[in-house]
Amino acid sequence: MDARWTPQLAFEDTDARYEERSATGVFTFPVCKRWSAGIDLHAKGEGVGELLKNAVRIRASQVMGNARFGTRQLLLDDGTRNLHSMSLGALGISLTKKYRVLFWSVNANVSEEKDTFGQAVPRFNGVIGKLHVKGVRKQFFYGLTVAVSDGLNVPLPFLGGTAPMGDRWSFQYVLPLQLALGYKASSDLRFQFGLGGDGYRSGFAQGDERVNINYTALRVFANVRHRLTPHLQLRAEVSGLAAHSLRLPNAEDELERFAISPGVQVMAGVNVFFGGSTLERLMDDVLK
């Protein structure tokens, strides 16, 4: 779970003000999992490394369900507007040959202002991709994400990964959304500094009509994660909102952009781990 706050900012072309407060809770629970390992005594390969890779037979997979609840409070000049979201979905991972991990997820959600819940339109998104592990700190992944969001249908391919830069630093990327540098201070304390995009889309009451409010942002961020215990992790982040705006339809039903002055956003969060994740076991037992 986490909470975010964007202190009051001015719109660039009007005297109006914008402030945002939000909170999100996510609960992930196991649905089914499988783990097995063995050795093929008849495997062949050139060299010890290839022989071991071909001989070891590991099968690991898990399907997990997830439920997400969020609330977002917008403090605008015409009053306080409360947006609420709920989603339910599933995600899965499976270890394939050569230490490749296939991952996928599907979700259905609604995101509406209080006054528009009676006209709520379901939204859907899905992701499928593959992770290639090249070492303890080096991997890359790729795939496709698709969003169907009340008239906004977006298929987006992605490419990401992590590459070590010395003993403690790493370069992390998820294109076209984020670039970052990671620093591992210890096994329990990590920092990340980067540049990325953010945004939300929700049903919104405009006069007597229901429309979609769209927010997009380009942000520079620094965050920290500290693992207090095997089951508890704390998170904090400070972001500089270099460019961000709201988009709403005008009388001609065309999206009108309202630019917001640059500002700052802060976040605090906590993760509670219950154990039993196949992915955690995979990383602990196979890749270290």
Residue 118, φ and ψ in degrees, nearest 5:
-70, -15
Say how many domains are in the chain. 1
**What pLDDT was estimated at residue 51?**
41
The whole domain housing 45 covers: 2-287
Higher-scoring residue by pLDDT: 58, 215: 215
pLDDT in tens, 98-111: 678 899 999 999 99
Of 46-60, 133-147, 192-206, the least confident: 46-60
pLDDT at 216 over 70: yes
Which H or E element spans position 215?
Answer: strand 209-229
Percent of the chain's residues with pLDDT above 90? 67
Mean pLDDT of the chain: 87
The band of 217, judged by pLDDT with boundaries at 50, 70 and 90, is: very high
Summarize the confidence of residues 202-228 as an average pLDDT: 95
Summarize the confidence of residues 98-127 as an average pLDDT: 92
**What pLDDT was estimated at residue 37?**
53
pLDDT at 34 over 90: no
pLDDT at 248 over 70: yes
Integer Cα distance of 147 and 153 in angstroms: 6
Distances in whole angstroms, Cα of residue 158 to Cα of each of 10, 104, 106, 127, 143: 34, 13, 16, 10, 6
